[in-house]
């Protein structure tokens, strides 16, 4: 099954990008501490880079690395009801989220493309490039909830989440 191998390859590369972002954020943070507290010479670009990498880290991870069963959610009600109600809840919430994200996507696209007129203070990176990750995130959310909706409509019962096997590191 070559399609599955391609998917695994892309997933691993998305994880690699996430790891690189984390390393860059950590190094910028450490440079900020060293320059500010040890050399008494505060520099602004490290703070800016830390914020930028954090933004990309969160949205890239949520778009391309985070799996459905690893999402943080409050599932007291979802876990307590039967499969039919879970299926109905999946359909309703998927439709609601799809409507919200699909309706807002053109406005978000307009805003992101408009932000090419401004750049960051220290690194002079255009804001449209920085905010472009949100477009990928929103597209991934649309695809994810369309897939969940399709699965729920086709009568695949949503699995009950087992807290003992969740992807938590606690």
Predicted TM-score (pTM) of the model is 0.83
Asked whether 127 and 48 are in contact (CB, 8 A), the reply is no
pLDDT in the model for residue 162? 55
- Non-local (6+) Cβ contacts of 124 within 8 A are none
Asked whether 65 and 59 are in contact (CB, 8 A), the reply is no
Q: How far apart are CA 57 and CA 51, in angstroms?
A: 10
Spell out the domain ranges in the chain.
Answer: 1-66, 72-163
The 3-state DSSP class for residue 119 equals strand
pLDDT in the model for residue 18? 96
pLDDT in the model for residue 68? 78
List, for the chain, all residue ranges whose pLDDT scores fall below the cut of 70: 1, 156-170
Instruction: Of 54, 65, 67, 68, give the one whose Cα is nearest residue 12.
Output: 65
Q: How far apart are CA 6 and CA 136, in angstroms?
A: 19
pLDDT in the model for residue 161? 54
- Non-local (6+) Cβ contacts of 38 within 8 A are none
pLDDT in the model for residue 102? 97
């Amino acid at each position: 099954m070559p399609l599955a191998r391609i998917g695994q390859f892309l997933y691993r590369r998305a994880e690699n990008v996430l790891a690189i972002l984390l390393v860059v954020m950590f190094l910028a943070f450490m440079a900020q501490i060293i320059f500010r507290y040890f050399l008494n010479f505060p520099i602004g670009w490290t703070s800016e880079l830390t914020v930028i990498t954090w933004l990309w880290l969160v949205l890239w991870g949520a778009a391309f690395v985070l799996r459905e069963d690893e999402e943080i959610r409050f599932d007291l009600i979802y876990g307590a009801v039967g499969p039919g109600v879970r299926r109905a809840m999946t359909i309703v919430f998927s439709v609601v989220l799809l409507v919200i994200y699909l309706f807002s996507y053109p406005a978000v696209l307009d805003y992101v493309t408009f932000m090419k007129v401004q750049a960051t203070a220290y690194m002079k990176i255009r804001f449209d490039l920085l905010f472009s990750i949100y477009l990928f995130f929103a597209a991934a959310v649309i695809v994810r909830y369309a897939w969940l909706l399709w699965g729920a409509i086709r009568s695949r019962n949503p699995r009950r989440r087992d807290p003992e096997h969740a992807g938590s590191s606690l």
